[in-house]
Structure 1
Amino acid sequence: MAWLGGFGRLCAVFLAIFSFSFQGASSQLVVSPVGPTLVNALAGSNVTLAVSFTGADDPTVTWLMGDLPVVTWTIGSDVPPDIVEDRKKVLNIEPKGSLTFVNVPLGYTSNYTFEMTKSGLAKSVTSFTLEVFERIQSVILTQPEFAIEGRKLFTLQYGMLQGVVQQQMWLFNDVEINSNSQYTVEKRSLVIHGLSRRDTGRYTVFLKNPFSSVTTHINVTVLYGPEKPTLEALPAQPFYLSGDTLSVSCEAEGFPLPTAKWDFGSQIPDQLNGVLNLTNVQTNQAGTYTCTLVTEQSKEKLQMNIILKVYERPSGNPMCSVQSVNNVNLQYYCMWPGGTPQAVLSFPTLSNTSSGTETFSLTFNASDNLNGKTVTCMADHPVEQNQCSVTASSPMKFLPSLMTRVSSDGKIVVTIECVSEASPEAVVSWSQGSETVAAGTTYQISSNATQLQIWDYNVSNFILQNYTCSCSNPLGSQRREVHLQGPSISDFSLFRNLNGTIVTLTWEVPPTSVVTGFDIQMKGPYLPNKSRSGTQRRGRADVFQTIQQKPGSVRSVDIFFLDPSLTYRFRVIPKALMTEGEPSEVQRIGPGEGLSRAAIVGIAAGIPCSLLFIVLLGIAIYFCFHSDKNKRRKIRYPVSRAVEKAITTQAETTPHILLTGGLKSPPDYNRLNLTPSERSMALPTFVPPAPVRVATTV
């Protein structure tokens, strides 16, 4: 500012010389500033806008603040200057026309014009600029809102306790900011366009005026997120089984780190730091879980879902069956209820396009190719694949069974049961002769028709009756006739223990025999038992007596307290109420009954005869043996060569298989030590022939 003062003084001197040179030629007002025309003043100080003039005495001067006259006065006049009322405390005009500001306030910053007039002379004007400053103090740099990524405009502003800023400069991380597409520098603010996380950093503002300068900083953190979260279930599986334990986490980038909260429908499950722990998970916990991420400062939210699948295996195993439809068609069933989700059921061998869940069925016309054919149901569940099979078959041959009992009102009840193995279950029908049996007083048929009950008082009404049982399903039928018989025994046996004190009687009855009970009869010594008087009964029964009675369902009985040294006889009599059938055969136990007189006489006469026969037989054997021995001792002479040749030739043939008869081979004469004189003729070397077996008849 020193050079400005020197320049002003130089200009004043120049104007004075110029005025003096031409004063003599023509009279003219000349006004000039003394010092700089741009004056900086500190608020509260005294400052003067100095001027000088030439060319007239006692001119009239006027000071204008902008366009408003604030002071008017004639120099040298005794009349005080005319100063605007509200500015009298600040403005003061000097004797030479200069304007002085006393304790100049900030509001007096303006352009000031000095006008000088003199009658007969032209008006002379000069101008000043006064800038009033305060020292800059307590500058605060602020951001009026959160710096959130994505905002179109974000503004940083500064405020201060006092001061007038003549110059401002903004910096980002100590690099000067200029107005461009990203930044706009405005009065007391900096505007950032399209805020992003890259704008996070330190912002600095530098403020300056002629009397002070201040630098202040602010750190701006751009909030961002939450970004797209990562939802993860551990252990990672396509689905979970009921009872499993798993955890689900929800994480996302952002600043500050967003908080996560889980929601499941209207439920808020237990969670910790965005981690959802599920222990012993059940099927009702399957579904869509929503994670909500929130940035607390910016209140920005983001939601994302994860679907949890919890499966449960159907209970048990799939069950297959086949049923009859109107005894014409076959309906195949496959059932595997329960489970989450339900299993998909199908019969691939019957249809490649049909399937169902829980209970699935297919209906087909009965045909020969289905009889005995095994059909498999495939049960497909995410947890397990299973199957079951069923085979449709026509009724098989069967044997009816018969049971007999006595009703409470004394009737004989004969139950005939016909059960034929078939799939689907065979339908049973009954007939007597050519007439269908209808349920009523005499006949009762069970709900599944497998049992026919015949009720009557007299067993004779059952005998020789023929009933026919028919079992049928869509694949075929079987029938059997039942011919009822009276009470009879088909087999009767007896077994005793080692000591002979207990016997077990067993018996059977014909399959179609009507029997309501049995009389167990015995003949022999009475079994020991106490009479009413306390004495034991003794004696012997010469006829069969009933010792026990058994119901018709019994097939064996034990008899105790037998005497092993005595003889007992047993039999069983079948009964139909009071009607008795033929007794069984008699079974006996005990020692023999002794020999008869005729047997004793026969034995006595046979003993001497037997001894005599043995003696004669011994003599005959002796003579036979002695005679055979003598024959073996005779000498055999040699035969001629012709005979020998014949014998030799004969020996070469296959010998007949004969009995030896005790004969010996002929002697070898070559081995006899005989001199030539002892031989009647010279003998050739003798080779004994092969032994010939001969038969000897005694």
Structure 2
Amino acid sequence: MAWLGGFGRLCAVLLAIFSFSFQGASSQLVVSPVGPTLVNALAGSNVTLAVSFTGADDPTVTWLMGDLPVVTWTIGSDVPPDIDEDRKKVLNIEPKGSLTFVNVPLTGYTSNYTFEMTKSGLAKSVTSFTLEVFERIQSVILLTQPEFAIEGRKLFTLQYDMLQGVVQQQMWLFNDIEINSNSQYTVEERSLVIHGPNRRDTGRYTVFLKNPFSSVTTHINVTVLYGPEKPILEALPAQPFYLSGDTLSVSCKAEGFPLPTAKWDFGSQIPDQLNGVLNLTNVQTNQAGTYTCTLVTEQSKEKLQMNIILKVYERPSGNPMCSVQSVNNVNLQYYCMWPGGTPQAVLSFPTLSNTSSGAETFSLTFNASDNLNGKTVTCMADHPVEQNQCSVTASSPMKFLPYVMTRVSSDGKIVVTIECVSEASPEAVVSWSQGSETVAAGTTYQISSNATQLQIRDYNVSNFILQNYTCSCSNPLGSQRREVHLQGPSISDFSLFRNLNGTIVTLTWEVPPTSVVTGFDIQMKGPYLPNKSRSGTQKRGSADVFQTIQQKPGSVRSVDIFFLDPSLTYRFRVIPKALMTEGEPSEVQRIGPGEGLSRAAIAGIAAGIPCSLLFIVLLGIAIYFCFHSDKNKSRQIRYPVSRAVEKAITTQTETTPHILLTGGLKSPPDYNRFNLTPSERSMALPTFVPPAPVRVATTV
């Protein structure tokens, strides 16, 4: 084939010389290609579209790529050719007008090319070429869409992909037999489409690709998947229902290729299973329900599901529960609940109705009447496994005592909270009124969500004093009312307690239940308590009037006062306050030796003198009789004793002499031994404990 190409070019040259020899005679431009007009080029190589011409000297030539001029030049001219700016690196015109492509790219240059030659006074001459740029075919692979061929799907496509190359010819084969487009197959530019694939389309598919510079053959094996078929579900032992604690197994099987896998689901749970067999041991009621078997072909992801329902019977959990509620504070609604169980329990109130019943939750509504107040109503709960019951009693509100609390809000208002709670069934509804007007929630009044608490807010305590508020607790069976009369700050009880040494006292007090109190001033009259001034000196002296030494909030009911002198007299009182408004002071409590004898002390002394004289007389008589009795005993006959006893002499272990006791009287205690102050000696005398007895032997 190479020598044929060389011969063609030689003929073209001879024809050009011959045409040039007769140029003057013909006076006509003649252009002809040198070689074939269909030129195949390998990307990256140099290729030339060769031409020859006769009939004129130095004609003007133009190369067109399609309809676009890319090179213009006058042969033999010193002016450089006019080449398209984007193609200067690839296109080059030869001295005789031929067009050369340098390192021709794969894309952008496959096209039809036209060579035009013109000369003034002569007709234009034209010739054409077709250039196709190829690349060697490499690394061809076959792909499928979708990934697997599945029986029953509409389409299955095989298409090829390659690393590089330009395909000029393709051929598809199935089991080495060429495939042509028909009702089953469609051959497209780069793919083969199988319509409605089935099991018979399983086999080997081949694609053959070719261009002028290379050819490639590639194979792929295709397996058409099918199934899963309709599954078979079976529970053993076969029973219409199962009892709690039974053991059973459920199986799931189906045909398909490849063999599908089975998986059991129960709601959101995945029970333990093996090869599509679900084993249930000690089955419980929460395992009853719909079990779903899902069959999956792993490669195709085809799924098929089928359900089986398992019934497990068991009694409802716990015991029935009864309650009664209010409907619009007019009617009574009786409830009975026994949730759970399979099947659900049948509930009824035989004492209220013989015709009505319900399951799991049942209620009956009746007009409130006196015969229902305090009446016990029983709910009967019937279940195949067990019969049970519960009872409820409706009652009107009981008597109650309101509770009053006082505090100060963050914005400086006095907040009085009144709480009313009455025991009742159904729960009592609480309402509030002031006088004859209903209390409505707003800026001054705030009512809790369950209406049991009323909060009253104001800056001035006088707006609380002498106000009457009424709380009413009611249900369909009756009501209870209580009035609350708010008072100003006051003290109802005040007490004082001191420690043994008299250096610390504890003050305690109470306030009336409806008194509005936000704080207390603790006041004292008497010597100043130890307290250093700013200069570091000890403050001394005493106050003749009450002075506030501490301030306590309204919730406090006791306070301790320290660093008291037991030998001095102090007086204390408490003043209740509602913000800046003071109430009546409490009674005054005193501690210390006092200032002289009180009237009560004088009266006690006057009454004690005759009693003391009488006691002294009786004491003398008793001493006389004791002495006379001892003297008579000394005159009695004395018998000799053994010499061993004579020699037994027991002496006293202490050096202090014995205090002889006569008449059964105890010696007075030594108060100096206790180191007591004079004020402490006015306290109750300590009990005297006599020394241990000492044996004394006397020699006769």
Give the TM-score taking structure 2 as reference length.
0.45
Question: What SS class does the counterpart of residue 390 from structure 1 fall into?
Answer: strand
Post-superposition offset of 1:643 = 65
Instruction: Give the stretch that moved more between structures: 441-450 or 39-48.
Output: 39-48
Post-superposition offset of 1:514 = 1.4
Q: Distance in 1 between matches of 2:92 and 2:448?
A: 139
Q: Name the structure 1 match of 2:50.
A: 50
Contact 1:60/1:72 (8 A) holds in 2 = yes
Instruction: Give the stretch that moved more between structures: 114-123 or 274-283.
Output: 114-123
Post-superposition offset of 1:440 = 3.4
Post-superposition offset of 1:383 = 6.8
- Cα deviation, 1:112-147, whole Å, max 9, x if unaligned, reads 999999999999999999999999999999999999
Contact 1:398/1:419 (8 A) holds in 2 = yes
Q: Name the structure 2 match of 1:494.
A: 496
Instruction: Give the stretch that moved more between structures: 549-558 or 173-182.
Output: 173-182
Q: Distance in 1 between matches of 2:679 and 2:542?
A: 100
Q: Name the structure 2 match of 1:70.
A: 70
- Judging changes above 3 Å, is the alpha-carbon distance between structure 1 residues 175 and 384 closer, same or farther for their aligned structure 2 residues? farther
Instruction: Give the stretch that moved more between structures: 560-569 or 165-174.
Output: 165-174
Identical-pair percentage: 97
Question: What SS class does the counterpart of residue 613 from structure 1 fall into?
Answer: helix
- Judging changes above 3 Å, is the alpha-carbon distance between structure 1 residues 537 and 245 closer, same or farther for their aligned structure 2 residues? farther
Number of residue equivalences: 698
- Judging changes above 3 Å, is the alpha-carbon distance between structure 1 residues 671 and 491 closer, same or farther for their aligned structure 2 residues? closer
Q: Distance in 2 between matches of 1:547 and 1:676?
A: 28
Q: Distance in 1 between matches of 2:644 and 2:567?
A: 83
Instruction: Give the stretch that moved more between structures: 611-620 or 349-358.
Output: 611-620
Instruction: Give the stretch that moved more between structures: 1-10 or 523-532.
Output: 1-10
Contact 2:234/2:251 (8 A) holds in 1 = yes
- Judging changes above 3 Å, is the alpha-carbon distance between structure 1 residues 375 and 682 closer, same or farther for their aligned structure 2 residues? closer
Q: Name the structure 2 match of 1:445.
A: 447
Q: Distance in 1 between matches of 2:655 and 2:59?
A: 199
Q: Distance in 2 between matches of 1:682 and 1:268?
A: 85
- Judging changes above 3 Å, is the alpha-carbon distance between structure 1 residues 277 and 639 closer, same or farther for their aligned structure 2 residues? closer
- Judging changes above 3 Å, is the alpha-carbon distance between structure 1 residues 240 and 580 closer, same or farther for their aligned structure 2 residues? farther
Post-superposition offset of 1:407 = 2.7
- Cα deviation, 1:532-576, whole Å, max 9, x if unaligned, reads 334444443332221221222222223333344443322211111
Contact 1:320/1:390 (8 A) holds in 2 = yes
- Judging changes above 3 Å, is the alpha-carbon distance between structure 1 residues 118 and 344 closer, same or farther for their aligned structure 2 residues? closer
Post-superposition offset of 1:490 = 1.0
Contact 2:400/2:420 (8 A) holds in 1 = yes
- Judging changes above 3 Å, is the alpha-carbon distance between structure 1 residues 100 and 251 closer, same or farther for their aligned structure 2 residues? same
Contact 2:75/2:96 (8 A) holds in 1 = yes
- Judging changes above 3 Å, is the alpha-carbon distance between structure 1 residues 55 and 250 closer, same or farther for their aligned structure 2 residues? same
Q: Distance in 2 between matches of 1:48 and 1:685?
A: 144
Instruction: Give the stretch that moved more between structures: 218-227 or 287-296.
Output: 218-227
Query: 1:350-361 to 2 correspondence within 5 Å?
Result: 350-361=352-363
Question: What SS class does the counterpart of residue 649 from structure 1 fall into?
Answer: coil
Question: What SS class does the counterpart of residue 610 from structure 1 fall into?
Answer: helix
Instruction: Give the stretch that moved more between structures: 432-441 or 339-348.
Output: 339-348
Post-superposition offset of 1:95 = 113
Contact 2:508/2:557 (8 A) holds in 1 = yes
- Judging changes above 3 Å, is the alpha-carbon distance between structure 1 residues 561 and 300 closer, same or farther for their aligned structure 2 residues? closer
Q: Distance in 2 between matches of 1:74 and 1:30?
A: 16
Q: Distance in 2 between matches of 1:551 and 1:132?
A: 103
Q: Distance in 2 between matches of 1:671 and 1:554?
A: 42
Q: Unaligned 5+ residue runs, structure 1?
A: none
Post-superposition offset of 1:212 = 73
- Judging changes above 3 Å, is the alpha-carbon distance between structure 1 residues 547 and 168 closer, same or farther for their aligned structure 2 residues? closer
- Judging changes above 3 Å, is the alpha-carbon distance between structure 1 residues 558 and 277 closer, same or farther for their aligned structure 2 residues? same
Contact 1:521/1:572 (8 A) holds in 2 = yes
Contact 1:376/1:388 (8 A) holds in 2 = yes
- Judging changes above 3 Å, is the alpha-carbon distance between structure 1 residues 497 and 668 closer, same or farther for their aligned structure 2 residues? closer
Q: Distance in 2 between matches of 1:110 and 1:665?
A: 147
* Alignment counterpart, residue 416 of structure 1, candidates 409, 415, 418: 418
Q: Distance in 2 between matches of 1:535 and 1:676?
A: 29
Question: What SS class does the counterpart of residue 388 from structure 1 fall into?
Answer: strand
Question: What SS class does the counterpart of residue 653 from structure 2 fall into?
Answer: helix
- Judging changes above 3 Å, is the alpha-carbon distance between structure 1 residues 492 and 630 closer, same or farther for their aligned structure 2 residues? closer
Instruction: Give the stretch that moved more between structures: 652-661 or 334-343.
Output: 652-661
Give the TM-score taking structure 1 as reference length.
0.46
Q: Distance in 2 between matches of 1:20 and 1:584?
A: 148
Contact 2:16/2:52 (8 A) holds in 1 = no
Superposed CA RMSD in Å reads 27.7
- Cα deviation, 1:31-82, whole Å, max 9, x if unaligned, reads 9999999999999999999999999999999999999999999999999999
Q: Distance in 2 between matches of 1:165 and 1:679?
A: 131
- Judging changes above 3 Å, is the alpha-carbon distance between structure 1 residues 240 and 31 closer, same or farther for their aligned structure 2 residues? same
Contact 2:144/2:156 (8 A) holds in 1 = no
Q: Distance in 2 between matches of 1:225 and 1:428?
A: 71
Post-superposition offset of 1:456 = 2.5
Q: Distance in 1 between matches of 2:85 and 2:674?
A: 205
Q: Unaligned 5+ residue runs, structure 2?
A: none
Q: Distance in 1 between matches of 2:682 and 2:440?
A: 119
- Cα deviation, 1:500-531, whole Å, max 9, x if unaligned, reads 44333222111111111111122233333443
- Cα deviation, 1:445-471, whole Å, max 9, x if unaligned, reads 333332222233222222222222222
Post-superposition offset of 1:489 = 0.9
- Cα deviation, 1:315-361, whole Å, max 9, x if unaligned, reads 66654332211221101123444555544433333233323234321
Contact 1:668/1:687 (8 A) holds in 2 = no
Post-superposition offset of 1:364 = 0.6
- Judging changes above 3 Å, is the alpha-carbon distance between structure 1 residues 610 and 121 closer, same or farther for their aligned structure 2 residues? closer
Question: What SS class does the counterpart of residue 574 from structure 1 fall into?
Answer: strand
- Judging changes above 3 Å, is the alpha-carbon distance between structure 1 residues 270 and 11 closer, same or farther for their aligned structure 2 residues? same
- Judging changes above 3 Å, is the alpha-carbon distance between structure 1 residues 341 and 570 closer, same or farther for their aligned structure 2 residues? farther
- Pair member with larger Rg: 1
Q: Distance in 2 between matches of 1:20 and 1:230?
A: 95
Q: Name the structure 2 match of 1:93.
A: 93
